[in-house]
Structures are given as C-alpha cells and as structure tokens.
Structure 1
C-alpha cells in the first residue's frame, strides 16, 4: 500500500527497522488520566527499555525513582530497584473494571496501560506492516490548513493494543501526526509532532491525547495523556 510504504520509508525504512531488536527511552508521561487517578508524577523522568520485536517494556524509576515496572502480554510486575518482585498481575486485560481515570488507579493497571501505549508509539508505523494487521487507506483529512492522508488499521487479538481499530494520519512528509481510537470508554485523538532522528529511526518526541467530538474535531482541554521523549536509543 502506497501510504504505508511512504510512512515506513519516512520513519527510517523496514531494512533499518529489521536490523534492530531493542530500544531505550528517557521520557515523561502525564496528563489528567494520571493526575485524576493519583499518579501525577508516577511516570515522570523514567527510563523505558523494550523489544522492537515482541511486546515487552520495562520502566525504571517509577514512583519517584524508587521502583521498576515491567509489561509483557502475560504478566505485569512491580519490582524494587534491585529486582525483588513486589506485585504481579498475571494474564492482564485492558478491559479491567471501571472507565476513565478510575481504571488507572492501581499501579499494575497503570504499568499495563503505559507499556501498551509506549510500545505501540515506538513501533508505529512499522507495526502496521505486521502480516496480521489489516490496513485500509481512507480519504484525506483536512485539519486547519493541512491535508493529512489516513490509514485505518485493524489489529489482531494476538497484539495487545489500546483499541482493536485505529485511524492513523500522516502529513505531507508521510510522518505520523495523529491517531484516533477508543480509550477507556472515550474517543480520543492522539497528536504527535517534533519528530527527531535516533539511530536512523524517526520518532515523534511529543504526544498529546485529547477527547474527540462526534464530528472528529478535538476538545482542547483537558489533555488526557502528555508524553515527552527526551532521548531514544536503538540497537
């Protein structure tokens, strides 16, 4: 598909991506979903290390730098800095009880949510080339003075995502600028910008998720999720 090919090439290309296996990020994650759940500073200034090939992310420095949290599809763990397992959630499910901020009140749920989100952020658009992901190009979208090309993606049950169906928007340079999907009972638009190069891979270093109106326009406040990537390393 032409748009997907353009997006992958603009982000570094499949050849470069297939030579990689790991990523390390220095980042902060916040927003009203976190503050309303009592976790305003839980993911501030943390290190995220993960696999580019399988769904796996480990966060170091959560809870004020005192603990680590690991996400894998079959288990979530909270550990001390020296590796002692403090809490575990086996066979986690994003459809945990409650909606909105209340769904993230438990730290295990928060680690699961951030693990899914950060892994998806870092692997897109390459993830859309997965053989089990079904993509379809949609008519262009006009936002302010910009025209963005769009892909609808349907993810298989074998991949844990924030929503099984999502719409991705790409600018004139084929860089991702927006991502629409359902989130904990809401419809949201996740904007991305300030793209930078890290080891041959182009990554948006700023992200912001906001609530969507039925007509596809965005409600400016509150900002549900705010992500800033300070540095990234791929190997």
Structure 2
C-alpha cells in the first residue's frame, strides 16, 4: 500500500528497522490515568528496554526508582533492585480488556498498560507491515490547515494491543500524528509530535492521550496520559 510505504520510509525505512533487535528509552509518563489511580509519579524519569521483534519490555526506576516492572503478553512481574520478584500476573490480557481506569491502581495493571502502550509506540509504523495486520486506507482528515491521511489497522489476537482496531493519522510528511481507538469505554486519541531521529529511526518524542467528541475532534482536558521521550537508542 502506497501510504504505508511512505510512512515506513519517513520513519527510517524497513531495511534499517529489520537490522535492529532492541531499543532503550529514557522517558517520563503522567496524566490523570496515573494520578487518579494514586500513581502520579510512578513512571516519572524511567528507563524502558524492549525488543523490536517480540512483545517484551522492561521498565527500570518505577516507584521512585525502587522497582522494575516487566511486560510480556503472558506475564507481568514487579521486582526489587536485586531482581527479586515481588508480584507477578500470568496471562494479563485475558482480564485487562474488561476493566476500567480504576484498575490502574493495581501496579501490575499499570505495568501492563504502560508496557503495551510504549511497545506499540516504538514499533509503529513498522508493525503495520506484519502479514497478520489488516490495513485499509480511509478518507483523509482535515486538521486545521493540514490534510492528514489515515489508515485503519486491525491487529490479530496473538498481538497484545490496547485495542484490536485502531485508526492512524499521518501528516503531509508521512509522520504519525494521531491514533484513535476505544479504551476503558471511552473513545480516545493518542496525539504525537516533536519527531526526532535516533540512529536512523524517527520517533515522536511527545505523545498525549485525550478523549474524543462524537465528531472525532479532540477534547483538550482532561489529559489522560502524557509521554515524553528524552532519549532513545536502537541497536
């Protein structure tokens, strides 16, 4: 598909992506999903190390730097600085789809949510070329004076995502600027901007989750989640 080809090229190209195995991020996350659940500073100034090839991600420095949290589709763990497992959760995706924002008060739910979100952020748009992901180009979206092109993506059951169907928006430079889907009974948008190149891979360094009006426009407040990536290394 021509649009997906343009998007992948704008983000660094499939050849460069296929040469990579891992990424390491220095980032910070916050917003009302965190503060309302009693975790306002849980993911401030943390390191995230993940695989580009499989759904696997580990956060270091959560809970004020005292713990680590790891995400894989079949297991979530929380560990102390010595690597001792303090809490674990098997097959989290089976329960997560049925819960609402209050569940994020449980630290295991929070690690699951953040793990899925950050892994998908860092692997998109390359993930869209996976043979089991079904994509369809939709009609363009007018965003102020800009025209954004859109893709609908349907993800297979073996990929753990925040939603199985998502709509992604790309600006005139073919860079991702928004992603819409259902979450916790709400229609939400992940806005993204401030793109930067790290080792040849172009990544939005700022992201924000907000709710949507029925006409598809973004509601400014509350801000459900803010993500700032300070640095990224791909290898």
Give the shorter-chain TM-score range: over 0.9
Change (3 A) 1:221 1:94: farther
Separation (CA, whole Å) in 2 of partners of 1:103 and 1:213: 24
Specify the alignment match of 1:55 in structure 2.
Answer: 55
Report if aligned partners of 1:94, 1:113 keep a CA contact under 8 Å in 2.
no
Report if aligned partners of 1:94, 1:162 keep a CA contact under 8 Å in 2.
no
Unaligned runs of at least 5 residues, structure 2: none
TM score, norm. by length of structure 1: 0.98
Change (3 A) 1:8 1:94: farther
Change (3 A) 1:82 1:92: same
More strand by share: 1
Per-residue deviation, 1:94: 6.3
Specify the alignment match of 1:77 in structure 2.
Answer: 77
Specify the alignment match of 1:118 in structure 2.
Answer: 118
SS in 1 for 2:132: coil
Aligned residues: 234
Separation (CA, whole Å) in 2 of partners of 1:95 and 1:201: 34
Q: After the TM superposition, which of the residue ranges 7-16 and 89-98 deviates more from structure 2?
A: 89-98
Per-residue deviation, 1:89: 0.2
- Note the aligned Cα RMSD (angstroms): 0.8
Deviations 1:23-42 (A, max 9, x none): 00000011101100000000
Per-residue deviation, 1:98: 3.5
Separation (CA, whole Å) in 1 of partners of 2:122 and 2:99: 27
Specify the alignment match of 2:106 in structure 1.
Answer: 106
Deviations 1:137-161 (A, max 9, x none): 0010001111100000000000000
Separation (CA, whole Å) in 1 of partners of 2:16 and 2:159: 22
Are 1:32 and 2:32 counterparts? yes
Separation (CA, whole Å) in 2 of partners of 1:106 and 1:94: 16
Specify the alignment match of 2:155 in structure 1.
Answer: 155
Per-residue deviation, 1:95: 4.3
Specify the alignment match of 1:144 in structure 2.
Answer: 144
Specify the alignment match of 1:214 in structure 2.
Answer: 214
Change (3 A) 1:186 1:95: farther
